[in-house]
Chains A and B, each alone.
Chain A
Amino acid sequence: MATLLAILIGSLYAAGVYLILRRSLFKLILGLVLLAHGANLLIFTAGGLTRAQPPIIPPDATALPVPSADPLPQALILTAIVIGFSVLAFALVLFHRVYQTIGSDDPDELKVGEQ
């Protein structure tokens, strides 16, 4: 499972970087999305994939049963997804405004005004 996820994460990163390097602002955004997903899955995989019980202490016990799943990676990913989502929403609006103002989807057009 970890191997499979590792290949998936690698492909997400590769596709993300490829899209970011394309000469299109729209593909740039898609690339950033894929990178963010890759990073989230990376946390998930690196946090350790185990078949275990949920981390809940049974009513008649005082400690977690061993083995139990680690709840923290999910919490981290959840936070990262929320942040990523809001940042992405902003980026979409920004890129749309740029497209309206500059009238082009080509990042090279952004050089105007720079020496």
Chain B
Amino acid sequence: MNLLLVLPLVIPVSTAALSLLAWRRLALQRVLAIVGTAVLLGGGLALLTFVWKNGIAATQLGAWPAPFGITLVADLFSAIMVVLAGVIGLAVAVYSLASMDEPRESFGYYPLLQILLMGVCGAFLTGDLFNLYVCFEVMLMASFVLLALGGEPDQLRGAIKYVTLNLLASALFLAAVGILYGVAGTLNMADLARKLSEAAEPGTMTALAMLFLIAFGIKAAVFPLFFWLPASYHTPPVAVSAVFAGLLTKVGVYALIRVFTLIFVADAGYTHTLILVIAGLTMVTGVLGAAAQHEFRRILSFHIISQIGYMILGLGLAGLTDSPAISTLALAGSVFYIMHHIIVKTNLFLVSGVAQRLGGSFELKELGGLYRAYPGLTVLFLIPALSLAGMPPLSGFFAKLSLVQAGLGAEQYVIVAVALVVGLLTLFSMTKIWAEAFWKAAPADSLRQTLSAAEKRSLLLPIGMLAAMTVTIGLAAEPVFALATRAAEQLTDRDAYIRAVLGEPQ
């Protein structure tokens, strides 16, 4: 058994257990949250190095051989996602020290955050569709409580929509898993990939692919299934919406990429065309929705949707081209985009929290004058904002560039044009925040608040760290892109995945 694969699950769950034991001792819970997420990040990095050196790693829990036992698999894509979960966990834990109010802290905020991270890492590492469902539920359960914790009317309104639509998605996912088991007699993803390439009627398979597309599509918030996201993400405390924005929808995207590169590849002409169309519509509706909003976090929420379109775009392109090189480039673009997006989007939410602390509101019209009063914060906003819009030399530019190159290579010119226009509209939204919250003079009656030195440290440290990562990914785009390319090569090489899980064919 490979310990590295188990650690990303064991670390958060033991941290959560310890935090629960320290229920009344908030100071200890805070320390545990920082230490737990830092160790998770370390474990993720160790896993990434291991997979980079030794190729896809798989382990069978309880030593039952695959496909009968519980399988954990880490290819580079999974390992990258686990590392990002660690990064975001750590950043949000530090940020929570100064931003989370005491009632929420004393009703289990820290243990819930750890359980959420465990569900997320479990979804990235599992090699079995039913365990993917279980990990989704663990993650959802923690996110339900985090979203509603505090019980403010807005939070409750958002939580109803979030809970209902996610439960619906889970029921669909479960139904799809059941039918797939009936068709294939297995739920191990590698085993499914092997068996379904031989047998199964194409019609049944396409219907199943559509069920999975809808179930994961709701979780990933693609068009037209995204309505729960802008209704709920702006309601909880900033630290919670930051971790949601960074990680949760990306679990849906991860699941889509996993099943549509490994299992449902037979009818790519139909399924991947549909994915491509959905990607385009998601990008456009997301960015137009953002243009109509005037609240900091609502604008950012709609941009999550728009960005999900870009991530799916790479997946769609990969299935629609005959050239393996372009297919790899497209998937590498998706992986790179996810890496860039998780860091940037979390960071923007964290900045919105600081702006609200200083200016007293999330409403753009009530904010203002932040540039004059806090030039340092302004720089920290501009880095992720311009990166999101795709300005060189920041990370977003290279993410978009690789997707556009792949789109041109696959001769899908319409979607390339859509991607470029949406990039421009993203810039428009970011300049709107810039002009309203930072540039214009502060409204006369605006509440001016200051931060203590300790608050400054805990709020600005994670923002600075994530901004530095954005710049680093941009300046060191080549090694990072090499990593994404290796991950994409593993995604396209289904046989290697099957071999890693099931062993060499006899």
Contacts from A to B (Cβ < 8 Å): 20, 25, 28, 32, 35-36, 38-40, 42-48, 72-73, 76, 79-80, 83, 86-87, 90-91, 94-95, 97-98, 101-102, 107, 110, 112-115
Q: Does B153 contact A (CB under 8 A)?
A: yes
Q: How many CB-defined contacts (below 8 Å) exist between A and B? A: 100
Residues of B118-140 whose CB lies within 8 A of A = 130, 133-134, 137, 140
Contacts of A102 on B, CB cut-off 8 Å?
A: 153, 156-157
Q: A35-B171, A47-B182, A76-B178 are in contact. Are A83 and B156 (CB under 8 A)?
A: no
A90 to chain B, nearest CB (A): 6
- For A43, give its contact among B144, B153, B181, B293 (CB under 8 Å): B181
Q: How far is the CA of A110 from the CA of B164 in the complex (A)?
A: 13
A50 to chain B, nearest CB (A): 12
Q: How far is the CA of A91 from the CA of B165 in the complex (A)?
A: 12
Are A114 and B231 in contact, with the CB atoms below 8 A?
Answer: yes
Q: Does B160 contact A (CB under 8 A)?
A: yes
Are A98 and B160 in contact, with the CB atoms below 8 A?
Answer: yes
Q: How far is the CA of A115 from the CA of B294 in the complex (A)?
A: 10
- For A46, give its contact among B137, B157, B179 (CB under 8 Å): B179
Q: How far is the CA of A76 from the CA of B167 in the complex (A)?
A: 17
Q: How far is the CA of A32 from the CA of B144 in the complex (A)?
A: 16
Q: How far is the CA of A63 from the CA of B65 in the complex (A)?
A: 17
Q: How far is the CA of A72 from the CA of B128 in the complex (A)?
A: 14
Contacts of B177 on A, CB cut-off 8 Å?
A: 43, 76
Q: A73-B181, A94-B160, A114-B231 are in contact. Are A87 and B174 (CB under 8 A)?
A: no
- In the complex, which of the residues A32, A43, A47, A107 has the most CB atoms of chain B within 10 Å of its own CB atom? A43
B141 to chain A, nearest CB (A): 6
Contacts of B167 on A, CB cut-off 8 Å?
A: 32, 35-36, 87, 91
Q: Does B145 contact A (CB under 8 A)?
A: yes
Q: A90-B145, A94-B144, A101-B156 are in contact. Are A32 and B164 (CB under 8 A)?
A: yes
Q: A43-B174, A102-B156 are in contact. Are A94 and B182 (CB under 8 A)?
A: no
Q: How far is the CA of A112 from the CA of B153 in the complex (A)?
A: 10
B429 to chain A, nearest CB (A): 16
- For B141, give its contact among A42, A44, A86, A114 (CB under 8 Å): A86
Q: What is the 8 Å Cβ interface bit string for chain B, positions 155-179, against chain A (1 contact, 0 not)? A: 0110111011001101110110111
Question: B164 — nearest CB in chain A belongs to which residue?
Answer: A28
Are B148 and A72 in contact, with the CB atoms below 8 A?
Answer: no
23 A–B contacts from the bound complex (CB under 8 Å): A20-B168, A32-B164, A36-B167, A38-B175, A39-B174, A39-B175, A42-B175, A42-B178, A43-B174, A43-B177, A46-B179, A47-B178, A47-B181, A76-B181, A80-B174, A83-B137, A87-B144, A90-B141, A98-B157, A107-B160, A110-B161, A113-B153, A115-B293
Q: Does B267 contact A (CB under 8 A)?
A: no
| New contact pairs (16) apart from A39-B175, A46-B183, CB-CB < 8 Å | A36-B174, A38-B175, A42-B175, A43-B174, A43-B181, A46-B182, A48-B182, A73-B181, A79-B130, A79-B134, A87-B140, A91-B167, A94-B160, A97-B156, A98-B156, A113-B153
Contacts of A72 on B, CB cut-off 8 Å?
A: 181
Question: B147 — nearest CB in chain A belongs to which residue?
Answer: A94
Residues of B162-219 whose CB lies within 8 A of A = 163-164, 167-168, 170-172, 174-175, 177-179, 181-183
Closest 3 CB pairs of A and B: A46-B182, A43-B178, A39-B174
Contacts of B153 on A, CB cut-off 8 Å?
A: 101-102, 113
- In the complex, which of the residues B130, B144, B161, B178 has the most CB atoms of chain A within 10 Å of its own CB atom? B178
Question: A109 — nearest CB in chain B belongs to which residue?
Answer: B157
Contacts of A83 on B, CB cut-off 8 Å?
A: 134, 137
Q: Does B151 contact A (CB under 8 A)?
A: yes
Q: A47-B181, A94-B159 are in contact. Are A20 and B164 (CB under 8 A)?
A: yes
Q: How far is the CA of A40 from the CA of B161 in the complex (A)?
A: 23
Contacts of A42 on B, CB cut-off 8 Å?
A: 175, 178-179
Contacts of A114 on B, CB cut-off 8 Å?
A: 157, 231
Q: Does B455 contact A (CB under 8 A)?
A: no
Contacts of A48 on B, CB cut-off 8 Å?
A: 182
Q: How far is the CA of A48 from the CA of B179 in the complex (A)?
A: 10
Contacts of A43 on B, CB cut-off 8 Å?
A: 174-175, 177-178, 181
Question: B174 — nearest CB in chain A belongs to which residue?
Answer: A39
Contacts of A94 on B, CB cut-off 8 Å?
A: 144, 148, 156, 159-160, 163
Contacts of A45 on B, CB cut-off 8 Å?
A: 182
Q: How far is the CA of A47 from the CA of B172 in the complex (A)?
A: 16
Are A97 and B151 in contact, with the CB atoms below 8 A?
Answer: yes
